């Protein structure tokens, strides 16, 4: 039975039970061997990357990254702050002649201090655990310590997140003026209906990098950040766990802070879909991606597939990392 056939009725009062059942149904432990560190990125083969290059027709490119600056959405939740950019050398120093370089040479230099998941980013496989167990069935304390993720650090996929991208513009399909309301749970039926409406170029295949646009980022840009970082949001329903597994996609990213619907569909739970997707499916999640310009172009030309490169900054041992994804059509 596939996710196409299943009918889900969640018991809102039993998140632990529902999470356990979804995890067991969709667990990929051992699928790529007991030593695997790449999870669903194994679906992206050299052949698929080569084929993705043929999707470039016009050469137009889109950055899918939000900015990294002090004007970002973070509010300090679990010590997540916006980037702090500090200049070490400036043109003012050069003109004042205080840099100490010979023969008129001057320059500028700078440094940024920031949490690795403060803006557009990937969640790595060491980011979330399920009852103390990390991806591929490893005890979490043997994977991530105070020294970082020594097994599935984000550097393990520094060369691999490139291939066919597909935009599922659920916000345009089901929202008002292209925007879903906060708390809107995107189900498998919403995803399938969006694919059907968008046509053949939106078909989801093994190894794809799937981008789901809700339109929330459009709204907060117009109205202010508000509770974007951690508050209510549209997002994927917990019931999409089976579709995320069965479709054999390599990764999924959204334009929201937390990827899944907030508040979630249980009485008391926190990010339950993360708990299934990352440590059990081995799926890479992207958050806070800017999909608006790409969405407008896709709606204009009716093409929802593209070449996508989205390599994370390979911070050794990091459980997540910033990224400037580039979609090329």
- pLDDT at position 5, please? 55
Q: What is the rounded distance in angstroms from the CA atom of residue 229 to the CA atom of residue 256? A: 8
Q: Are 247 and 108 in the same domain?
A: no
Q: Are 46 and 105 in the same domain?
A: no
**Residue 1, domain member (yes or no):** no
Q: Band of the pLDDT at 7, cuts 50, 70, 90?
A: low
Q: Are 105 and 250 in the same domain?
A: no
CATH of the domain at 294: 3.50.30.50
Q: Are 64 and 181 in the same domain?
A: yes
Domain that holds residue 94: 84-113
Domain's final residue, options 113, 132, 161: 113
Q: Are 144 and 195 in the same domain?
A: yes
Domain's final residue, options 95, 113, 131: 113
Q: Are 88 and 152 in the same domain?
A: no
**Residue 8, domain member (yes or no):** no
> Is residue 15 classed as helix, strand or coil in its secondary structure?
helix
Count of CB atoms within 10 A of residue 221's CB?
Answer: 13
Q: What is the pLDDT of residues 94-125, one digit of tens each?
A: 999 999 999 999 999 999 999 999 999 999 99
pLDDT above 70: residue 1? no
Q: Are 171 and 307 in the same domain?
A: yes
Q: Are 108 and 204 in the same domain?
A: no
* Residue whose token pair is 């529902």: 18
Q: Band of the pLDDT at 325, cuts 50, 70, 90?
A: very high
- pLDDT at position 57, please? 97
Q: 223 in the Ramachandran plot: left (φ > 0), alpha (ψ -120 to 50) or beta?
A: alpha
**Residue 209, domain member (yes or no):** yes
Q: What is the rounded distance in angstroms from the CA atom of residue 240 to the CA atom of residue 68? A: 30
Q: What is the pLDDT of residues 223-250, one digit of tens each?
A: 999 999 999 999 999 999 999 999 999 9
Q: Which two tokens stand for residue 169?
A: 């513009």
Q: What is the rounded distance in angstroms from the CA atom of residue 88 to the CA atom of residue 110? A: 5
**Residue 296, domain member (yes or no):** yes
Burial 167-194 (b: 16+ CB within 10 A, else e): bbbbbbbbbeebbbebebbbbbebbeeb
Q: Are 43 and 66 in the same domain?
A: yes
Q: Are 101 and 135 in the same domain?
A: no
Q: Are 173 and 247 in the same domain?
A: yes
Calculate what percentage of the chain has a pLDDT beyond 90: 96
**Residue 197, domain member (yes or no):** yes
Q: Are 100 and 144 in the same domain?
A: no
Domain total for the chain? 2
Q: What is the pLDDT of residues 21-80, one digit of tens each?
A: 999 999 999 999 999 999 999 999 999 999 999 999 999 999 999 999 999 999 988 899
């Amino acid at each position: 039975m596939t996710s196409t056939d299943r009918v889900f009725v969640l018991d809102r009062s039993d998140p632990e039970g529902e999470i356990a059942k979804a995890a067991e149904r969709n667990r990929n432990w051992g699928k790529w061997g007991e030593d695997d560190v790449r999870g669903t990125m194994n679906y992206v083969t050299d052949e698929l990357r080569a084929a993705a290059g043929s999707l470039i027709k016009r050469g137009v490119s889109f950055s899918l990254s939000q900015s990294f600056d002090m004007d970002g959405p973070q509010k300090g939740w679990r010590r997540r702050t916006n980037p702090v950019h500090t200049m070490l050398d400036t043109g003012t120093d050069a003109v004042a002649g205080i840099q100490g370089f010979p023969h008129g040479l001057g320059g500028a230099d700078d440094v940024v201090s920031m949490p690795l998941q403060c803006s557009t980013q990937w969640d790595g496989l060491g980011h979330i655990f399920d009852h103390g167990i990390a991806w591929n069935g490893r005890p979490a304390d043997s994977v991530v310590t105070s020294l970082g993720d020594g097994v599935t650090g984000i550097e393990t996929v520094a060369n691999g997140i490139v291939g066919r991208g597909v935009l599922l513009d659920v916000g345009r399909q089901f929202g008002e003026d292209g925007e879903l309301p906060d708390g809107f749970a995107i189900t498998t039926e919403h995803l399938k209906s969006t694919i059907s409406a968008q046509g053949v170029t939106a078909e989801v295949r093994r190894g794809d990098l799937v981008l789901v646009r809700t339109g929330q980022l459009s709204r907060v840009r117009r109205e202010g950040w508000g509770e974007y970082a951690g508050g209510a949001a549209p997002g994927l329903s917990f019931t999409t766990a089976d579709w995320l597994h069965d479709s054999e996609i390599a990764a999924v990213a959204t334009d929201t802070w937390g990827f899944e619907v907030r508040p979630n569909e249980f009485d008391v739970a926190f990010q339950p879909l993360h708990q299934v997707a990352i440590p059990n499916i081995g799926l890479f999640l992207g958050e806070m991606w800017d999909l608006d310009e790409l969405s407008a172009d896709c709606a204009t030309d009716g093409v929802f597939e593209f070449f996508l490169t989205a390599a994370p900054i390979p911070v050794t041992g990091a459980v997540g990392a910033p990224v400037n994804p580039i979609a090329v059509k």
